[in-house]
Structure 1
Amino acid sequence: MELLDQRFLGNELSEWLISLALLVGLVILIRIVYGVFKRVSRRVTNRTATQLDDIIVDKVEEPIVFIVSVAAIYIVLERLSFGQVVDQFIGDGIWFGVNIGITWLLVRLSNALMTEFLTPYFNQEDSSVQDQRLPIIQKMIVIIIWAVGVLIALNNAGYNVGALLAGLGIGGVAFALAAKDTISNFFGGIIILIDKPFNIGDRIKVAGYDGNVVSIGLRSTRLRTLENRMVTIPNLKFIDGIVENVSSQPSQKMTLKIGLVYNTTPEQIEEAMNALHEINDRVQGTDKNCVTSFTDFGDFALGIHFIYYITPEGDYFNTQSEINLGILKEFNKKGLEFAFPTQTIHTEMASFKG
């Protein structure tokens, strides 16, 4: 038995063997209890109508196993002695691990509960809003939970959290000054997602760019311009500048000035204005209320003013093309002649008497 009485790292070999056997027994016990708990909990939750209990059971399994495993390591190491300093370090490490496990549990629960309860709320709005806002809210809450959890874990492990926070405060001021624009863009992204001046797919005008919103991020927003180019705009521009949401207007006013030749009869002028009303009624994507008016006698044309409106559902360019093609076909069919700049020069022959 002398072999078992030999000491290794301050403990007899027999104590090491007992601790190892205890660790193996605890691992087996944990696996058995975990398996039984999993089967029983599944049966119970499957009988209920709500999904909340299923979510809770699914999300707490792994963190609880981690916490119990840390506790098992503590039970095993508690039997051994490594000296005051090492024992204190092990005790602090165990507390740190337990706190991290609890934080992990809270993070998983918060993510699951937010997905379960916030998703129906966001489903009442535009799906693009849900795609952008929900993940950002989840990330922010997760960061807060982890930050608080790590600070508590460090405090329980014996670290001076006050001094750490003071150091972080000084460093945070320096970081904020160095990354002022990045921080401004970050808060700009949050304001966009909360205030919702526009959604994904909307056509907007900002900082001299005109295009459709492709994505809204925490640092920048991407537009696809009318030239089909992708533009990345820092969110700070949306706070400091003026944003025009073209898609939010009820309809977009379009104005055409049509000139007919001077030999057009009054009856043809009326026929032309009636044709414009019919064309507007036929084209999809226009408001059926339009305005036509015989407005002026120009230098070389009789002017007809045509105002129509493109609805948000209508395509901006295709609708204009259909209107213009309809006018061209209908006017040609009715023999209505478009005017263009012309000049008529009258010359008189002078007579000379000899």
Structure 2
Amino acid sequence: MIEETPSIVNNWIQDWSLLSESWRVGLVVFALVFGTAVVAYIASFVVGAIERRFKKTDNAWDDALLHAARRPVVAFVWLQGVYWAAEVAHRYSDAEIFSVNDTLLQIGFVWLLVWTLLRFIKQGEEILTSPLKMKTPMDYTTVNAVSKLSRAVVIITAVLIALQSLGYSISGVLAFGGVGGIAVGFAAKDLLANFFGGFIIHLDRPFKVGDWIRSPDRNIEGTVEHIGWRLTTVRTFDKRPLYVPNAVFTQVAVENPSRMFNRRISETIGIRYADVGQMATIVADIRNMLENHEDIDHDQTLIVNFLAFNASSLDIMVYTFTKTIQWVRFHEVKQDVLLKISDIIEGYGAEVAFPTRTLHMPDGVRVASNQAGKGDSGDASNAEPGSSRAPVDGSEGSTETQGDSAEATGN
């Protein structure tokens, strides 16, 4: 109480009769608050100077500690100064508000300690995940999970200490929480399922922030932006946010393409039946091109083989893997590979096949033009492009057609 304040202040209030007692108390309270402001400014300046000096060192943790403690130190000065001023006022006032000075001081100390620890945890999270401050930065998802758990422990402990300071029995609070927790558990089972789902994600780490994930069981695909204790935020490729309850990830299969080692090129390329004589050399040249391509991973499976006789083409299977896993760069490499394959095919005078149809005409059938007024439909010189004539010399013939359909008429 007042006995704890400097004796000179107490004697001045009691003995100096130039002003009334209320004025003397008011001046002392004003002086204490003003002195508190001055000391708080000096403390902020000193801590800031030390912090700037420590920034020049290689140790990042002392910077984090000072940065975390700077504002709480100033708040501590204000808390102590206001407490002294309230104690002086309490000595000469019967107001009930001053009767809780000691309790408010204790709760204030707990709050300042919690504030400091939370700021330090945040600074530590930034240090552990920063490539500028750590030679080998830790995974952001893991550090974020540990920091969240640390914050929860600090806050829960502070609440229990504050309740004890207010006169509540912690054992009674814990017993009530145990009984009430059962009821809450039944009422909020979905919330708890999401909470434990988030815990499993942090424990098993099937994905982390920044990973591209997709689920074949659900319509989930995009980049992970945030992993919370209830929801995981996924940014889809059309830039829309998708909020997925964590419990979903304990029930579905999740694919994480971000952790692939290579991207695959798997193509089937067909050439004409007329180019069957060049098939072996074309296949060999394509394989040689891929084996010498700088963007192809030669430690992975590489297959170039004549695959099958298809309806309109002779199929070649090209199966290989790129070194890059970046989506844009992969398509650049794939384009380069396909263009080089096209050049190899053209280099042998061959062509890439396209769907064709062969029509076998009976004897004495000719193909007429689709458009009237183009001359004699039986005259081959007047036939439209895309139409053809069957032989009319009595022998059976065949013709390949593409483009406009042809109309078959009899003589």
TM-score interval w.r.t. the shorter chain?
0.7 to 0.9
Residue 82, structure 1, aligned to residue 81, structure 2: no
- Equivalent of 1:107 in 109, 118, 121: 118
Q: Give the C-alpha shift of residue 292 in structure 1.
A: 1.0
Structure 1 unmatched ranges of 5 or more: 1-12
State the match for 1:309 in structure 2: 321
State the match for 1:28 in structure 2: 34
State the match for 1:95 in structure 2: 106
Distance in 1 (CA, whole Å) between partners of 2:289 and 2:222 is: 28
- Equivalent of 1:338 in 352, 356, 360: 352
- Equivalent of 2:267 in 256, 260, 264: 256
Distance in 1 (CA, whole Å) between partners of 2:113 and 2:249 is: 40
State the match for 1:61 in structure 2: 73
SS of corresponding position for 1:250: coil
Bigger mean CA deviation after superposition, 69-78 or 232-241: 69-78
CA separation of 1:284 and 1:173: change in aligned 2, threshold 3 A = farther
Q: Give the C-alpha shift of residue 40 in structure 1.
A: 4.5
Q: Give the C-alpha shift of residue 152 in structure 1.
A: 1.0
Distance in 2 (CA, whole Å) between partners of 1:137 and 1:241 is: 25
Distance in 1 (CA, whole Å) between partners of 2:336 and 2:198 is: 38
Q: Which amino acid aligns with 2:136?
A: Q
Equivalent residues of 2:232, 2:243 under 8 A apart = yes
**Structure 1 or 2: larger helix share?**
1
State the match for 2:3 in structure 1: none
Q: Give the C-alpha shift of residue 242 in structure 1.
A: 1.7
SS of corresponding position for 1:244: coil
Structure 2 unmatched ranges of 5 or more: 1-18, 364-393, 396-411
Q: Which amino acid aligns with 1:71?
A: Y
Distance in 2 (CA, whole Å) between partners of 1:43 and 1:204 is: 47
Q: Give the C-alpha shift of residue 41 in structure 1.
A: 4.6
Pairwise mapping of residues 281-296 of structure 1 onto structure 2 (< 5 A)? 285-288=295-298, 290-296=302-308
Distance in 1 (CA, whole Å) between partners of 2:287 and 2:116 is: 66
Residue 147, structure 1, aligned to residue 159, structure 2: no
Q: Which amino acid aligns with 1:331?
A: I
Distance in 2 (CA, whole Å) between partners of 1:150 and 1:28 is: 32
Distance in 1 (CA, whole Å) between partners of 2:289 and 2:199 is: 45
Identity %: 22
Q: Name the structure, 1 or 2, with higher relative contact order (CA <8 Å, separation 6+).
A: 1
Equivalent residues of 2:44, 2:74 under 8 A apart = no
Equivalent residues of 2:296, 2:320 under 8 A apart = yes
Distance in 2 (CA, whole Å) between partners of 1:213 and 1:118 is: 19
Residue 247, structure 1, aligned to residue 261, structure 2: no
State the match for 1:10 in structure 2: none
Q: Which amino acid aligns with 2:341?
A: I
Bigger mean CA deviation after superposition, 204-213 or 114-123: 114-123
Residue 217, structure 1, aligned to residue 227, structure 2: yes
Distance in 2 (CA, whole Å) between partners of 1:283 and 1:319 is: 10
Q: Deviations over 1:323-342 (max 9, x none)?
A: 44443454345432334364
- Count of residue correspondences: 332
State the match for 2:189 in structure 1: 180
Residue 236, structure 1, aligned to residue 247, structure 2: yes
Distance in 1 (CA, whole Å) between partners of 2:338 and 2:167 is: 78
Residue 271, structure 1, aligned to residue 281, structure 2: yes
SS of corresponding position for 1:264: helix
Distance in 2 (CA, whole Å) between partners of 1:72 and 1:277 is: 87
Distance in 1 (CA, whole Å) between partners of 2:203 and 2:211 is: 16
Q: Give the C-alpha shift of residue 244 in structure 1.
A: 1.9
CA separation of 1:228 and 1:156: change in aligned 2, threshold 3 A = closer
CA separation of 1:208 and 1:86: change in aligned 2, threshold 3 A = closer
Q: Deviations over 1:92-141 (max 9, x none)?
A: 33433333333333333443455446646877348xx53x5545544443
Greater CA radius of gyration, 1 or 2? 2
Compute the RMSD of aligned alpha carbons.
3.9
CA separation of 1:194 and 1:270: change in aligned 2, threshold 3 A = same
SS of corresponding position for 1:294: strand
Q: Give the C-alpha shift of residue 273 in structure 1.
A: 1.3
